[in-house]
Amino acid sequence: MSTLELRYGANPHQGQARLRLPESDAPVRVLNGAPSYINILDALTAWPLVQELSSVTGKASAASFKHLSPAGAAVDGPVSDTFVRSQYLERAPQSAVARAYVRARGADRMSSFGDAVAVSETVSVELAEILRREVSDLILAPAYEPEALEILSAKRGGKYLVLQIDSDFVPDAIESRRVFGLTLEQERNTAPITAELFRSEPPLSEGILETLVVGTTALKYTQSNSVCVAFEGQVIGMGAGQQSRIHCTRIACAKAEKWMLQQHPNVLALEFSAEIGRPEKTNAVDQFLLWDELSTPERDHLVSTLGQEPTPLSQEERRAWFAEFDGLCMSSDAFIPFRDNIDRAAATGVTFVAHTGGSMRDESVRAAAAELGVRVLETGVRCFLH
């Protein structure tokens, strides 16, 4: 085994951090920068997600990871002018890999601040230029266009972490981890998440099937418990790592609502002075959408940022806007135990829910869904990740 020395472990005071690699044909190479323990964990958790999405859908795929869970994930798809404006982009990307990434990062720009990027395809110059302007820590990809590598290697004063992975590498069937000096082993989670899991009568459209695949596959690489809301082939709300499923659902739905509302004409009309950067704009939009919940100092800061007191969106305006997004899908990494998850999802406008099934309360969940016009699909597959 060869060894790649890391800057430090999970925290700066944890030394002797290293990545052990096969003696020959190491699947991961550092092209620029010096990785830390968490950098490697994020990169190596994000890669199989995008690799699997690309394999199943046949499209370029991307993920924006933070702390071992995807803030967003997406496959290539349309990027509207409204979405471009909501993300403070100069224009809609032309390359498939760049489109996949801006859709992935656009799920939750706040959570993607300082992200670990993984993409399934060769990094284009266009994607490198987009990343050059974003606050990001690293990228992992199977290949880079020469000019793209130059651009990324110069980011952050030459410290931006650029990793390359062998897309043909297949890990061992058995994975292990050491906890408190003891070793646990298990088979890797290779359960396929394909459209076949969700086929039912009446048939679902190919677009809904793809969206369910994207959302459910993202859960496979998200710390449990987790619930995901997806739309048109992209994650738009991830609720990760909660002990209660309803809390996962509330987080995922709240993030999905923010994703939709940040494209509302009233939000796009917010004006910022020239010196306000994109992270500050993102934070201001978040505060604007939470105006009624803000403390006085938070409101004062937002007013200072905008130069005037904003007029918040009413509940009626919000509900009307949610209705513009047809085909919202929610996936759960295990069975939904109570109808409250369906009630919360329906309030956001979710019309398709996929979960494992097998709960003693499945009938009450189905009844709630029928009452609220939500279609439930039971996959029989659990996707816990710990």
Q: Which residues are catalytic?
A: 66-67, 225, 386
76, 96 Cβ separation under 8 angstroms:
yes
C-alpha 293 chain-centroid distance = 25
269, 258 Cβ separation under 8 angstroms:
no
Instruction: Give the alpha-carbon dihedral of 73, 42, 255, 309, to 10 degrees.
Output: -120
Element (H, E) at 341: helix 340-348
Q: Are strands 61-66 and 69-75 parallel, antiparallel or unpaired?
A: antiparallel
Tokens representing 16 are: 């002797």
347, 318 Cβ separation under 8 angstroms:
no
Element (H, E) at 317: helix 315-322
71, 108 Cβ separation under 8 angstroms:
yes
Tokens representing 350 are: 């979710």
Rounded to whole angstroms, the Cα distance separating 81 from 95 reads 16
Helix (H, G, I), strand (E, B), or coil: what is residue 284? helix
Q: Does the bond joining 337 to the residue before it have cis omega, within 30 degrees of 0?
A: no
Query: Which is nearest to 108 in space by CA: 135, 87, 91?
Result: 87
DSSP state of 312: P
Element (H, E) at 187: strand 182-187
